[in-house]
Structure 1
Amino acid sequence: MATGFEFFERDLKVATAGLEPEAISRELAKFAKEELAKAIAGGSSPQYERFVNGRLGAVEESVVAPGPILYVFSNWPLVINAALAELQKRAPRRSGRFASSFIVVVGGQIVSEFSAIPADAEVLITNFQPYVRKAEVGRLGIPKRRLFDGTKNVMARRFREAFRFETRFLNVGGGVHPMMPYILKGSGPIRLAAQNAKSAAFRAGRAVLAGRKDTAAGQPITYPAIVINMV
């Protein structure tokens, strides 16, 4: 069965029969730009990379027939919406507030127009609620690492040919969202030290483990996030 590319090649040969090579190249450039405009009007991302005779960024008019002219579109809307849907599906559901609090951050700014994200951008997806870290470590009624890390694993399998995914705990500065960063008002939970010679706390004469700096009062929390890059 013929593919769209085969039909295009056949139609181009018919349309340019008898033309000089320079004229064929002009027709190829014109056709490519027309098809690009149709693709964007039909919903494709306006962010793309253009390859002309294998040269990144070259203009269509520089093509030497038979080309090719290749457009590589950014599929950020597809992958980001898929990740958000998976996160919301896995989120705690008591009030729905947490599930509606995921944000997409690019370059330190929240974005909502995903089709405008550059192809080479690094995309972060996190949640601005102050208890987000509790959700990831298994303290809000969902299994440990099921939310962000679990979503990362699903996305990595689905989009492994085009995108790279990882999970990180991020330090988020002011200016990203009014509720971020959240400053801890109390110290973390007290953890009893093992009472044997293998425990450094026991050998130091302590009954409890030393508190972690990132759970101490006055410290900003770190935010679990999915970090996405194009391959």
Structure 2
Amino acid sequence: MSSKIITVWGKDNSGKTTFAVNLACALANRDHLVGLISSNLIYGDLQVYFGQSIPPEKGLFRALHEDNPNVGEKFMETGESKNLFFLSVPNHYTGLLCDSVSLQSVERLITASSLLFDILLIDGSGDLTNPISGVGLWLAEKVYTLYRPSASAPMWHKGVEDFVQELHIADKQINVMQTPNGEFDDKTFKSLIELSFKYELPFVKQAGELENAGTPVFFYEDRGCRRYSKVLEKISDELCGGTDKYK
């Protein structure tokens, strides 16, 4: 299978990181080598999801700033899957390095990483100025755009229209709705935003608790988690052409 770059995008608090982490787990479970890169330049959120700690000699900034680095050595292994590796900022504060991240260094990093993995996932940002998210959207073969029903989501969607047009990503977008927990009627939301959603993710009550414990939803055998995972399996079928079998 040829290498693919997939970017997950959406407004902040849309559920995109949860989706990106668990989609990566679903793809790695098919015996594909999967890389996952975070666009968060302030806080290392991916290591929380996997119950890991990133030392200073590894992580995102080392991969971006070292001359001719061995990119693969900067990724961290996950405990749940031998096929899944992630790249995030280290645990200690590195926020002062954010301004030194250039588009050229990000493009070089993503291109080099895509050669190491069967599938490379970018966990994008709602911040339109984020360099990793922007380059990831530009290079992606597919963009899964997450929406959580709310009054502000249609405004975000309207506000990024020019950005989507400028990057020419409209034809690559696949809209995914995170089903709300009774906080906002999904039918009302659909009428407001006037989008069609190819996939709808069920609400998982204990998702936050599992994430804080370092357990991805995909690996938890609970009815709600399994319903969420079934959607991820369908998406994995789409990405892999339906030809691969689970381990």
TM-score tier after normalising by the smaller chain length = under 0.3
1 or 2, which has the higher helix percentage?
A: 2
Q: TM-score, normalised by structure 1?
A: 0.23
Larger radius of gyration: 1
- Which of the pair has the greater relative contact order for Cα pairs under 8 Å at 6+ separation? 2
What TM-score does the superposition give when structure 2 sets the normalisation length?
0.22
